[in-house]
Chains A and B, each alone.
Chain A
Amino acid sequence: MVTTVMRQTDLKVKVVVPQATEIQKLEKKSLVSYIYIGTPTETYRAKFGTAPRIQLNDAFASPNQVIEFIEKERAARSEAEVPLLTTSIKADKEAKMGIVTDVKQELRKCNALKLNYSSSKRAEVYN
Chain B
Amino acid sequence: MRRNRTTPEVNAGSMADIAFLLLIFFLVTTTIDTDRGISIRLPPMPEENQPENDIRIKERNVMKVLVNANDQLLVNGELLGVKELKRRAKEFIDNPRKDPNLSESPTKAVISLKNDRGTSYNIYITVHNELKAAYNELREAKANADFGKPFEKLNEAQQNQIKDYYRQVISEAEPENVGGV
Contacts and interface: CB of A to CB of B under 8 A. Distances in A.
Contact of A24 (B37, B116, B126): B37
Residue in B31, B35, B86 with the greatest tally of chain A CB atoms within 10 Å: B35
**Interface size for chain B: under 10, 10 to 19, 20 to 34, or 35 or more residues?**
35 or more
A26 B37 contact: yes
B35 A18 contact: no
Interface SS of chain B:
mixed
Given A97-B117, A97-B175, A118 B82 contact: no
B33 A25 contact: yes
Contacts of B26: none
Interface SS of chain A:
mixed
A20 B34 contact: no
Given A92-B121, A94-B121, A126-B83, A120 B44 contact: no
A24 B119 contact: no
Lowest 7 CB-CB distances: which A-B pairs, in order?
Answer: A98-B117, A93-B122, A20-B129, A118-B37, A26-B35, A18-B125, A22-B132
Given A5-B34, A20-B37, A118-B37, 19 more contacts: A20-B128, A25-B35, A26-B36, A26-B37, A91-B121, A95-B121, A97-B116, A97-B117, A98-B177, A98-B181, A111-B44, A113-B41, A113-B44, A115-B42, A116-B35, A117-B125, A118-B35, A126-B82, A126-B130
